[in-house]
A and B are shown apart, each in its own frame.
Chain A
Amino acid sequence: MLKSTTPTVVGSETKAKTKHRTFSLNAKDKYYAVLFLGPSLLILSVFVFYPMLRTLYISMFLTNTLGKTTVFNGLGNYTDLLGSPEYIASLGSTLVYVFAVTVLTVGIGLLLANLASKRLPGIGIFRTLYSVTMGVSVSVAAIFWLFIFNPSTGFFALLSNMLGLPVLNWLTDPTMAMWAVIITTVWMNLGFTFLILLGAISAVPTTLYEAASIEGASERRQFFKITVPMISPTLFFVSTITLIEGFKSFGLIDLITKGGPTNSTNMLVYRIYKDAFYSGNYAQASSEAIILTVIIAFFTFLQFKFLEKRVNY
């Protein structure tokens, strides 16, 4: 389409026309800008900028059960939160979850991508199979894994019984429940992470490996000395994406543990939801939302800075 358009466009050139048109287009730009940018700006104002400012505002007041602000509380909600062992525990479990999910997702994704980058017959099938979890949504992943973790009829229980091992209380023990959520999240993340890392590894020039092979570098050495450094920007990218998504986790927690047992998986977003829509404590939930925003903004900013550097590079 493009190739056929260009020559005809250039063909009908007239110089006098050019100047005139360019001028008139620029003069009209601001009207076009309103038309082109207006809809997006309106939506973002109503559903992103306003609620952010409103959340910040509410977070500095006390609220009644209808969510109406009553008394100005300054930073009181924040100091209350940071002094509450329950909130600190929630922050702690979120950090554990995010850290474990990021390390495992990127680590396993890298292992898979490295294996699948080899030029072996039939490798295409494995590439497709490894990316399959990209097509799995939260509720499906939760159902598959809930069945596996189920203490009475689940697959793990069955396996343990067959092997004569003790059945683990995946969903009722606080530590195991955390692992249940971590495993399900990592499994869901793998498809996407694998594809991105595979793309990066495939882009590493093969001449580098050929040179290393001639010098007798082992495969393990090639992996750590060539592959990993060459794809480090992509590794950074997938790590921050996984991290940010981890902090925002809600669906799997609601489906698998509902924040329990004994609040062990009551992570940041789940708390906001519970405090606002169950307990009606809108002021506290708003402060929690602002803290979440600060954390996520920090990591997103880090990513922007890094990408910017990479582009200039």
Chain B
Amino acid sequence: MISTNKPSRLNKIVSYTLLLLLAFVILAPFFIGIWTSFLPTMEIAKGNFMSTDLSLNNYVSAFTKTPILRYLGNSLVVSVLTMAAQLVFCSMSAYAFVFLKFKYRNAIFVLFLITMMLPFEAEIIPNFTTVKNLGMLDHYSVLLIPFLTSAFGTFMLRQAFMQTPSELKEAADIEGLNHFQFYWNIVLPYNKVSLITLGAYSFLGAWNQYLWPMLTTFSNNSRLIQNGLRQLQSEETFNDWGMIQASAAIIVIPTILVLFIGQHYFKSGMNEGAVK
């Protein structure tokens, strides 16, 4: 008899084989990319893949000959600021929808829901005109201001805030806390897990932006890493694959490390949430 809880020996062998095979396929692009990042471009161009002429030269030239550090810095600043702004503004608007009573509350909430159905990609034409008229082109502000808040983040936090036990609100009223105090001292700490989730989501969203920064930034001072890599790739007259792969590796390795650490932290956060 086969049971999922106690797999038979044959079953185990089949499972491990499949697991390993799939892991290999998924990871192959990383292996190939990272391996070639250590090879001289001449060897890659000759198709001499098994060359043992490994070195860190590609990394040295990526750091010294290209503005990759500047791009990385730009992306880091913009992503961290976007995340911080969204945490503040989304949680504030979510708070308003859950804990404040005011006229047109439902109508405004429906407006937020509608916003979630409208793709930003379809709005780039008037938005481009707006930021151009405001003189924001090629400046950090153009990458930040349109994304200070998000309807999705508000919606997500509203769902979470609604789970806050009503006794907490009653107790806060008795204690005489005003809305700012209740929001800051009780609602935010109570919904830590949802805030971390939104933080990760908004950070990654900003980090992966592509179309909007491509339209609105033209110089290395404000160019983000995604568009910067494209720039490096198109500037090379003959593709310096070794250096391009090294640049990709420089970006992907820290992200993956952060992801692994984050996943670990996130898991324990989830457990904490479940116990609560």
Chain A residues close to B by CB (< 8 Å) = 1-2, 5-6, 9-10, 12-14, 17-18, 21-22, 25-26, 28-30, 32-33, 35-37, 39-41, 43-44, 46-52, 54-55, 58, 67, 111-112, 115-116, 118-120, 123, 126, 128-141, 143-148, 152-153, 155, 157-158, 161, 187, 190, 206, 209-210, 213-214, 216, 218-219, 222, 247-248, 250-251, 254-255, 269, 272-273, 276-277, 282, 285-286, 289-290, 292-293, 296-297, 300-301, 304
A43–B30 touching, CB < 8 Å: no
A36–B96 touching, CB < 8 Å: yes
Main secondary structure of the interface of A (DSSP, over half): helix
Within 8 A of A (CB), among B1-36: 1-5, 7, 11-12, 15-16, 18-19, 22-23, 26-27, 29-30, 32-33, 36
Interface flags for B93-115 (1: CB within 8 Å of A; 0: not) read 10111001111010010011101
5 smallest beta-carbon distances between A and B, as pairs: A251-B210, A51-B126, A289-B122, A51-B123, A139-B229
The 12 sampled A-B contact pairs (Cβ below 8 Å) are: A9-B172, A36-B183, A37-B97, A40-B93, A40-B154, A43-B149, A135-B258, A137-B226, A143-B245, A148-B32, A250-B121, A255-B230
A136–B22 touching, CB < 8 Å: no
A155–B32 touching, CB < 8 Å: yes
A39–B89 touching, CB < 8 Å: yes
A139–B3 touching, CB < 8 Å: no
Interface flags for B225-257 (1: CB within 8 Å of A; 0: not) read 111011001000000010011011001100110
Residue of B nearest to A223 (CB): B4
Q: Chain A residues near B190: list those with CB within 8 A.
A: 2
Chain B residues close to A by CB (< 8 Å) = 1-5, 7, 11-12, 15-16, 18-19, 22-23, 26-27, 29-30, 32-33, 36, 44-47, 49, 89-90, 92-93, 95-97, 100-103, 105, 108, 111-113, 115-130, 145-146, 148-149, 151, 154, 167-168, 171-176, 178-179, 183, 185-186, 189-190, 207-208, 210-211, 214-215, 225-227, 229-230, 233, 241, 244-245, 247-248, 251-252, 255-256, 258-260, 263, 276
Q: How many A-B residue pairs have CB under 8 A?
A: 298
A304–B113 touching, CB < 8 Å: yes
Q: Chain A residues near B32: list those with CB within 8 A.
A: 144, 147-148, 155
Residue among B2, B26, B47, B189 with the most chain A CB within 10 A?
A: B26
CA distance A101 to B91 in the complex (A): 34
CA distance A164 to B102 in the complex (A): 73
Q: Chain B residues near A111: list those with CB within 8 A.
A: 22
Q: Chain A residues near B172: list those with CB within 8 A.
A: 9
Give me 8 other A-B pairs in contact (C-beta within 8 A), A44-B115, A135-B252, A248-B119 excluded.
Answer: A2-B190, A9-B171, A40-B154, A43-B89, A46-B130, A144-B33, A152-B47, A254-B230
B255–A135 touching, CB < 8 Å: yes
A55–B122 touching, CB < 8 Å: yes
Q: How far is the CB of A69 from chain B (nearest CB, A)?
A: 12
Of A14, A128, A161, A272, the contact of B121 (CB 8 Å cutoff): A272
Q: Chain B residues near A28: list those with CB within 8 A.
A: 179
Residue among A25, A139, A161, A273 with the most chain B CB within 10 A?
A: A139
Q: Chain A residues near B5: list those with CB within 8 A.
A: 119, 206, 209-210, 213
Of B171, B174, B207, the contact of A137 (CB 8 Å cutoff): B207
CA distance A210 to B122 in the complex (A): 50
CA distance A37 to B183 in the complex (A): 13
B29–A144 touching, CB < 8 Å: yes
Given A129-B27, A132-B256, A153-B44, are A282 and B208 neighbors across the interface (CB < 8 Å)? no
CA distance A206 to B6 in the complex (A): 12
CA distance A108 to B92 in the complex (A): 39
